[in-house]
């Protein structure tokens, strides 16, 4: 009897154990089924979404640097201040550059006066050239005629002098033999002296006429050189005109340098890394601050295996770690034509040593749909984000 009871109890325990194992198997099967269904639902819901946590906010950063040196007179921005395009950032003491501008203006006035004088000189040379040549030719002809007359007079005076000398010799002989009076002899001597004086005077006149002819000829040669003088005057005018252009360029440079003393914001954005104070002496091209330009964008480094269906224009949802709970909307702008490793400082050289294949990442630029959104303006370069790209959408489609 006792043995039968024990057998019945054992059978009951075995049945209970079987029921428990069956229940456990049912629970496990239900869990596996639920997991499979959940996985299927998750796969179905996310099969067209590509996401990565290797993504950051990026933006253009402009270095604010002066183009001229000097003392900082005024500073119009503070740390992390937002500025608009064209807003004054700082001013450099302009007095030195105002003096340079005044000097450049004076130099331009001097150059303009010199050019005007060169133009007048050239016009005068051109107008007087023809008259000077005619006058010189007439003077040469007149001097040649006077020289010819002077030579003829000298020849005549020479003949008279020779005749008078002969008469003196003849009367001297007659006086010796008593054939003439002493008075007549003395008269012949006086006539000889007079003709000799006239001959010497005629010689001097001929020499003077020759000198005048040579002088007139030289003046004619000088007048005929008028084209060379005109060319010289033209060269002087060109030189004066070049100096005018040089003075104008120096004036423009002085005006630019004066305008550079007032530094304006090249674009809208927020100031960062201020390294200047009023009273500082700054040098040309010295970095004074950085301007983070609007609008920012996202650089997401997707694996190359995630880019199969990714195209520019596809919609993107962006979550920013610094702003939890807020979702930004944007779109794919472009894919970098090369992996990040290829554009690194030391690109890998896979042709050396052993090769291990590593899935590469490609930077993808994502821009925001509303760059003017105040929430977008709060984003700063370097912030971590998680973008999610809908690769099933057609470019430009919003889901």
> DSSP string covering 128-194, please?
HHHHHHHHHHHHHHHHHHHHHHHHHHHHHHHHHHHHHHHHHHHHHHHHHHTSS-HHHHHHHHHHHHH
pLDDT at 354 over 90: no
pLDDT at 332 over 90: yes
153 against 372, higher pLDDT: 372
- pLDDT reported for residue 333: 95
- In order of their start, the domains of the chain are 62-92+260-291 (2.40.50.100), 98-256 (1.10.287)
pLDDT at 52 over 90: yes
pLDDT at 382 over 70: yes
Task: Give φ, ψ of 94 to 5 degrees.
Answer: -90, 0
pLDDT at 31 over 80: no
- pLDDT reported for residue 362: 95
DSSP-H helix ranges across 225-297: 226-259
Which stretches does DSSP call E strand in the chain?
49-51, 55-58, 61-64, 70-75, 82-83, 88-92, 262-264, 269-272, 281-282, 289-293, 297-303, 315-320, 327-335, 361-368, 385-390
- Average pLDDT of 264-273? 95
pLDDT at 1 over 60: no
CB-CB contact of 52 with 302 (8 Å): yes
- pLDDT reported for residue 219: 63
- pLDDT reported for residue 236: 87
How far apart CA 136 and CA 130 sit, in angstroms, is 10
- pLDDT reported for residue 349: 79
- Average pLDDT of 52-75? 95
Task: Give φ, ψ of 380 to 5 degrees.
Answer: -125, 150
The model's pTM: 0.63
- Average pLDDT of 273-298? 95
CB-CB contact of 154 with 205 (8 Å): yes
Residue 332: how many CB atoms within 10 A of its CB? 24
Quick one: tokens of 384?
A: 């971590």
């Amino acid at each position: 009897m006792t043995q039968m009871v024990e057998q019945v109890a054992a059978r009951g325990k075995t049945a209970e154990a079987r029921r428990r194992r069956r229940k456990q198997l049912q629970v496990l099967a239900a869990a596996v089924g639920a997991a499979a269904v959940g996985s299927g639902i998750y796969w179905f819901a996310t099969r067209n979404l590509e996401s990565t946590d290797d993504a950051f906010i990026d933006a253009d950063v402009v270095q604010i640097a002066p183009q001229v040196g000097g003392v900082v007179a005024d500073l119009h921005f503070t740390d992390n201040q937002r500025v608009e395009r064209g807003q004054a950032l700082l001013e450099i003491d302009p007095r030195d550059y105002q003096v340079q501008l005044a000097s450049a203006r004076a130099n331009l006035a001097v150059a303009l006066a010199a050019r005007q004088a060169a133009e007048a000189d050239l016009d005068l040379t051109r107008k007087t050239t023809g008259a000077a040549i005619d006058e010189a030719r007439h003077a040469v002809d007149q001097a040649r005629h006077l020289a010819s007359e002077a030579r003829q007079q000298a020849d005549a005076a020479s003949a008279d002098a020779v005749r008078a000398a002969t008469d003196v010799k003849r009367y001297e002989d007659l006086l010796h033999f008593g054939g003439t009076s002493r008075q007549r002899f003395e008269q012949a001597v006086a006539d000889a002296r007079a003709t000799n004086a006239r001959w010497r005077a005629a010689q001097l006149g001929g020499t003077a006429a020759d000198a005048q002819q040579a002088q007139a000829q030289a003046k004619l040669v000088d007048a005929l050189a008028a084209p060379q003088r005109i060319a010289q005057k033209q060269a002087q005018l060109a030189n004066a005109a070049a100096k005018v252009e040089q003075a104008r360029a120096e004036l423009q440079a002085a005006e630019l340098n004066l305008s550079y003393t007032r530094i304006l914001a090249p674009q809208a954005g927020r100031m960062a890394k201020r390294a200047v104070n009023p009273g500082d002496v700054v040098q040309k091209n010295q970095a004074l601050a950085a301007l983070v330009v609007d609008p920012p964008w996202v650089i997401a480094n997707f694996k190359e295996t995630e880019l199969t269906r990714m195209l520019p224009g596809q919609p993107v949802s962006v979550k920013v770690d610094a702003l939890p709970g807020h979702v930004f909307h944007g779109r794919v702008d472009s894919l970098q034509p090369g992996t990040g490793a290829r554009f690194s400082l030391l690109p890998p050289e896979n042709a050396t040593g052993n090769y291990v294949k590593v899935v590469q990442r490609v930077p993808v630029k994502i821009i925001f749909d509303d760059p003017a959104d105040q929430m977008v303006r709060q984003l700063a370069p370097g912030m971590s984000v998680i973008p999610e790209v809908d690769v099933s959408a057609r470019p430009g489609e919003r889901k």
